[in-house]
A and B are shown apart, each in its own frame.
Chain A
């Protein structure tokens, strides 16, 4: 099972919006709405920020939003803040091996 494809890095200035893509296939993102996103700061465990494509857990900032089109899911961070600098991982249910993660994207706040 190949990992979902994410850009290695994305950057933006404070206050800007950025979007991270997560590309899979019809066996995962394309046919299932079980996409989630995790934020991971260095040396810390991942934190759930989006589940079921576009739902935010309680306590997660509304600056984080998720969407999906065909085989690609996206995470948008609006009003970028310094504390958003972290690595972001997508995941999806996969009919070929139950679950697959993305390759991970490092977000840099300029």
Chain B
């Protein structure tokens, strides 16, 4: 059984919003950072930000500030990534990934991603 299981593929119109979910299992959800990474067609990986489940704190990469929101439902150990005002170049596979344990210095919260979700394809097309 995979540690991180993501929601299914989505097709959206430009300007719409979408939610991608990531359910964690086999570890204590609040003990580790949860990151989001995307990969657009023909591009490399792009880091979007992190979420700290035990506090709800977030940090979004500068490019994504203002239109990305990371939240969670602790009762079901599930993280959510909300994207708004979608554009065609937001078409990508979106991954959740587990980071290091919470509690270390800030520079360490993205030291590595040891488990990844299977990815969710979001297609933005008119």
- The stretch that binds A, out of B8-16, B69-77, B78-86, B104-112, is B104-112
| Contact call A51/B62, Cβ cutoff below 8 A | no
Q: Does B116 contact A (CB under 8 A)?
A: yes
A64 on the B face (CB < 8 A) = no
The answer for the CA separation of A57 and B113 in the assembled complex, in Å, is: 11
Supply 7 further A-B pairs (C-beta < 8 A) apart from A34-B108, A51-B114: A45-B118, A46-B37, A46-B97, A51-B111, A91-B45, A98-B50, A99-B47
Residues in B lying within 8 Å of A, measured CB to CB: 35, 37, 43-47, 49-50, 59, 61-63, 95, 97, 107-114, 116-119
Q: A1-B62, A45-B95, A46-B95 are in contact. Are A36 and B113 (CB under 8 A)?
A: yes
Q: Is the pair B111, A38 in contact by a Cβ cutoff of 8 Å? A: no
Query: Does A104 lie at the interface of the complex (its beta carbon under 8 Å from any beta carbon of B)?
Result: yes
A87-105 Cβ-contact flags toward B at 8 Å (1 or 0): 0010101000111111110
Q: Could you tell me the dominant secondary structure of chain B's interface residues?
A: mixed
Chain A residue with the shortest CB-CB distance to B93: A45
**Can you show 17 pairs from A to B with CB atoms below 8 A apart?**
A34-B107, A34-B108, A36-B111, A36-B112, A38-B113, A46-B37, A48-B113, A52-B111, A52-B112, A89-B45, A91-B45, A93-B107, A98-B61, A98-B109, A99-B110, A102-B44, A104-B45
Number of interface residues of A (CB under 8 A): 26
Q: What separation, in Å, do the CA atoms of A48 and B108 have in the docked complex? A: 16
Q: Which residues of B contact A6 (CB under 8 A)?
A: 44
Pair B112/A101 contact, Cβ less than 8 Å = no
Known contacts A98-B50, A99-B47, A102-B44; A45 and B111 CB within 8 A of each other: no
What separation, in Å, do the CA atoms of A103 and B112 have in the docked complex? Answer: 17
Query: Which residues 34-49 of A sit at the B interface, judged by CB distance below 8 A?
Result: 34, 36, 38, 40, 45-48
Q: List, in ascending order, chain B residues with CB within 8 A of A100's CB.
A: 47
Closest chain B CB from A75 CB (angstroms): 14
Closest to A93 in B: B107
